Structure formats: structure tokens, C-alpha cells
């Protein structure tokens, strides 16, 4: 599938907007205690994106989504600034939640919840991960301990969640819980809820290494949350299947956005190396520096190719579970190398907040864990190798 001129033109407009309008906001002091941009700042930027015609660019006005390959060219450009993805409404978890609601949500859920997200008027949160100390669901969703039970025409949910990105300040929540209803055979359910809700209580907002997402990554207690049955997303007991519908594209979207950030970090480090003098010549002319930037160039191209390959698999209709695991590992590890080398090239300046290079180092370090740690994906791939070997040698 080729990338349409419509998508390419939109991507060019997103890049122009991010570079010319968003980048100057990177030093804007409107940040919370953790360094994340405030909702006031996000809404101001989204207003500018709306005026420029680049708000939620990956979803057409009729609600249809561009292909994954087309989405990639837009999301990479939106990631050129850590604020770019927020301004353009392509950020996590909203982008993944919009994708899931668009594919599984009923007309009522789309009208009530999805539309205001697509319009950039509301942030959302995805309540799946649970506290490690409770031995709850993390990289393995089947360990879920949050429960839901049917009560008349409602469902009642109880449990705890952790690392819920953007929960503080979100207006839409997708809550995942394991069903106690016999008809669901112990499967998971997903519910779409209005936030805030007194039954969903934020108990702690930890400081984490990354700081680009409003609302940070909260710990949450859910106590007797009553949800009307028609706010269930899809069918009872099918939540784990819906999670896969969301997670593979969401992993890939992370790769797209952070690749954009690392491309910009490479630009900044390259500019620094071509201007900075040391030992009688510019840094770029020292092989120890020049070779690091050359290696980054290679990693960037490999990331682009992996993303395009995986996007093509998803566009074919496949869930792309294996391919997204491979891409998530390859890209997140490559981006870590890129960000680290950019910091190293810039020396002391690279560890300050004068540029986004230090920010990208922290964000990508977290990305190696979020959406499944590298080791979990490798373990999953190793299991596939084992299955394929047994099938071949049966």
C-alpha cells in the first residue's frame, strides 16, 4: 500500500507547525511539580493546532483512520518536539484509546466519549496495569486482579491500578477488569467511564524518569465503581482480545513518536558537533564524535524501516503481535543508543535542560519499559520460536 499524497501533505504541515510554532514553547514555564506540561499549556497548543489544521491529523473528519503506514509519517513529525504530540493530539494514551474506541466502541460510546477526544477537548486514561506489590497485571494482563461483577443493568468494579498515564486530569477512562460473571468464563471486560468519578481515587502520583505526559503515571484505587452495562466496550469476557487490538498499534505509535524526538535530538547534536571547537578542530572532525553521529544515522534509518514494515503488517489486517514485539524491541533499543550518543556528543550541555536532548534520553529510557519491557517481548518471541520448532519437528 502506497502512502497517499493527502497523508504526505498533512505530515509536511505537521512538521512545519511543530518546528515553527511548537518548538518555541519548549521553554514555557507552565509545568507541574514533575515537569510535565499543564493542561492550560496543552489546550493553548491544541488551539493553535486546530487553527493550523493539524489537530488529530491521523483521523479524517469523517472518523476514518489513515493507514498505519500513513499514520507513521504524521506521528513521526509530531514527535519532533515532546510538546508536538500533545499539541497535535497524537500522544499516548489518547491516540491508542481513540483507536480502540473507533474500532470497538458502539455508536453511543463514540458520540459520548470519542468525539470530544478526537476534537482535542478531553484527555483520557487506560486503566489496565496493576501494582507489582499486589502481584497484579503488568506486562502479563492475564494476572489481572481487578474484578467486575454484574448487578442488574450495571457492573460493579473493584481493584487497584498503577502507572495509569494521564489519570490526573483525564475526562475519559477505559477500565479493564476480570469478570466474575459465569457467562464471561473468567474473561476480562472493558468499560468506558466519565472522569473524575468518586469511586476512582488517585492514591499516589509518583515521580518518574519521564515527564512529558500531563497527569504523570498515577496509582489508583477503584471502590464499588458502578458502570451502566451499555458502557461496556464490546462484549463481556473479550477484554483481553480488545487489549491486543489496542496494544500492537499503540506500541508502534510509541515507536513513531519517539523516533521523531530522536531525529530532532540528532539534529541538535549534529549542529553542536559542527560548531563546537576542541583540540584545534570541530568535534565532528574527531572520529570518536563523528562516528557516534554516523551510527545514529544508521539506527534512525533502521528504525524507519522497522516501523514501516510493521505498519504494513497491521495494514494487511493482521494483529501483528509478533511483528510489533520485534519492532518495539528493535526501535526502543536503537532509540536509547541514539539518545545516549546525542547526550555524549554534547557533553555537559547534553545533560542540561537547554535542549530536548536530555528530555529524550529520559523519555526513551522509560519507553524501554512501557508497553512491555524489552525482555518480555524477547521472551514472547522465544516462545514463538519454540512453538514453531515443535510444529516443524512434530
Average pLDDT over residues 57-83: 96
Beta bridge partners of 155: 150, 227
Q: What percent of the chain has pLDDT over 70?
A: 100
Question: What does the pLDDT read at residue 1?
Answer: 67
Q: What is the pLDDT of residues 155-203, one digit of tens each?
A: 999 999 999 999 999 999 999 999 998 777 779 999 999 999 999 999 9
Average pLDDT, the chain: 95
Using an 8 Å Cβ cutoff, are 164 and 136 in contact? no
pLDDT band at 30; cut points 50, 70, 90: very high
CA angle 75, 80, 7 (to 5 degrees): 35
pLDDT of residue 275 exceeding 90, the answer is: yes
Q: For the chain, list the domains and their CATH numbers.
A: 5-91 (no CATH), 125-237 (2.40.110.10), 240-388 (1.20.140.10)
In terms of Cα–Cα distance, which of 357, 345, 350, 351 is closest to 288?
345
Question: What does the pLDDT read at residue 136?
Answer: 84
Question: What does the pLDDT read at residue 33?
Answer: 85
Question: What does the pLDDT read at residue 243?
Answer: 87
What is the rounded distance in angstroms from the CA atom of residue 196 to the CA atom of residue 172?
Answer: 8
* End-to-end C-alpha distance for the chain, whole angstroms: 37
Phi then psi dihedrals of residue 158, to 5 deg? -140, 140
Q: What is the pLDDT of residues 278-323, one digit of tens each?
A: 999 999 999 999 999 999 999 999 999 999 999 999 999 999 999 9
Using an 8 Å Cβ cutoff, are 216 and 370 in contact? no
Task: Tell how strand 200-204 and strand 217-228 pair up.
Answer: antiparallel
Q: Sign of the CA dihedral 282, 288, 291, 295?
A: negative
Cis peptide bond prior to 93, omega within 30° of 0: yes
Average pLDDT over residues 50-60: 97
Question: What does the pLDDT read at residue 184?
Answer: 73
What is the rounded distance in angstroms from the CA atom of residue 272 to the CA atom of residue 266?
Answer: 10
User: What 3-state DSSP class applies to 261?
Assistant: helix
pLDDT band at 346; cut points 50, 70, 90: very high
Question: What does the pLDDT read at residue 9?
Answer: 98
User: What 3-state DSSP class applies to 228?
Assistant: strand
pLDDT band at 394; cut points 50, 70, 90: confident
Q: What is the pLDDT of residues 88-126, one digit of tens each?
A: 999 999 999 999 999 999 999 999 999 999 999 999 999
pLDDT higher for 1 or 26?
26
What is the rounded distance in angstroms from the CA atom of residue 38 to the CA atom of residue 215?
Answer: 8
Beta bridge partners of 148: 157, 179
Our CA dihedral for 184, 185, 190, 195, rounded to 10 degrees, sits at 80
pLDDT of residue 351 exceeding 90, the answer is: yes
What is the rounded distance in angstroms from the CA atom of residue 207 to the CA atom of residue 32?
Answer: 11
Q: What is the pLDDT of residues 210-264, one digit of tens each?
A: 999 998 899 999 999 999 999 999 999 999 888 888 888 999 999 999 999 999 9
What is the rounded distance in angstroms from the CA atom of residue 181 to the CA atom of residue 235?
Answer: 13
What is the rounded distance in angstroms from the CA atom of residue 86 to the CA atom of residue 92?
Answer: 9
What is the rounded distance in angstroms from the CA atom of residue 138 to the CA atom of residue 130?
Answer: 6
- Ranges of beta strands (E only) in 256-332 are 277-278, 281-282
Q: Sign of the CA dihedral 344, 349, 355, 360?
A: positive
Amino acid at each position: 500500500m502506497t502512502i497517499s499524497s493527502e497523508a504526505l501533505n498533512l505530515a509536511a504541515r505537521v512538521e512545519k507547525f511543530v518546528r515553527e510554532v511548537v518548538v518555541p514553547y519548549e521553554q514555557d514555564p507552565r509545568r507541574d511539580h514533575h515537569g510535565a506540561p499543564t493542561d492550560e499549556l496543552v489546550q493553548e497548543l491544541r488551539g493553535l493546532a486546530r487553527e493550523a489544521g493539524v489537530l488529530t491529523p491521523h483521523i479524517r473528519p469523517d472518523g476514518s483512520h489513515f493507514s498505519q503506514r500513513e499514520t507513521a509519517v504524521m506521528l513521526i513529525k509530531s514527535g519532533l518536539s515532546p510538546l508536538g504530540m500533545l499539541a497535535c493530539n497524537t500522544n499516548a494514551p489518547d491516540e491508542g484509546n481513540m483507536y480502540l474506541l473507533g474500532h470497538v466502541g458502539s455508536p453511543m460510546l463514540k458520540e459520548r466519549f470519542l468525539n470530544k477526544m478526537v476534537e482535542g477537548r478531553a484527555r483520557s486514561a487506560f486503566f489496565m496495569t496493576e501494582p507489582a506489590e499486589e502481584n497484579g497485571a503488568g506486562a502479563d494482563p492475564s494476572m489481572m486482579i481487578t474484578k467486575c461483577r454484574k448487578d442488574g443493568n450495571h457492573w460493579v468494579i473493584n481493584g487497584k491500578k498503577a502507572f495509569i498515564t494521564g489519570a490526573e486530569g483525564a475526562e475519559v477512562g477505559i477500565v479493564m477488569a476480570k469478570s466474575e460473571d459465569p457467562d464471561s468464563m473468567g474473561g476480562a471486560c472493558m468499560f468506558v467511564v466519565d472522569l473524575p468519578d468518586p469511586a476512582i481515587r488517585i492514591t499516589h502520583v509518583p515521580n518518574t524518569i519521564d515527564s512529558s505526559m500531563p497527569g504523570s503515571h498515577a496509582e489508583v484505587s477503584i471502590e464499588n465503581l458502578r458502570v451502566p452495562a451499555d458502557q461496556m466496550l464490546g462484549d463481556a469476557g473479550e477484554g483481553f482480545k480488545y487489549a491486543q487490538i489496542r496494544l500492537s498499534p499503540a506500541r508502534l505509535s510509541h515507536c513513531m513518536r519517539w523516533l521523531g524526538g530522536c531525529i530532532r535530538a540528532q539534529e541538535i547534536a549534529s549542529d553542536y558537533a559542527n560548531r563546537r571547537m576542541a583540540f584545534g578542530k570541530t568535534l565532528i572532525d574527531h572520529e570518536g564524535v563523528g562516528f557516534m553521529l554516523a551510527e545514529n544515522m544508521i539506527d534512525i534509518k533502521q528504525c524507519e524501516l522497522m516501523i514501516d514494515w510493521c505498519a504494513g503488517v497491521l495494514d494487511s489486517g493482521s494483529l501483528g503481535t509478533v511483528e510489533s514485539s520485534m519492532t518495539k524491541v528493535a526501535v526502543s533499543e536503537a532509540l536509547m543508543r541514539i539518545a545516549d550518543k546525542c547526550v555524549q556528543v554534547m557533553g555537559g550541555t547534553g545533560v542540561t535542560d537547554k535542549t530536548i536532548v536530555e528530555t529524550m534520553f529520559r523519555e526513551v529510557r522509560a519507553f524501554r519499559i512501557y508497553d512491555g519491557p524489552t525482555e518480555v517481548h524477547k521472551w514472547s518471541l522465544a516462545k514463538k520460536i519454540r512453538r514453531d520448532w515443535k510444529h516443524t519437528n512434530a
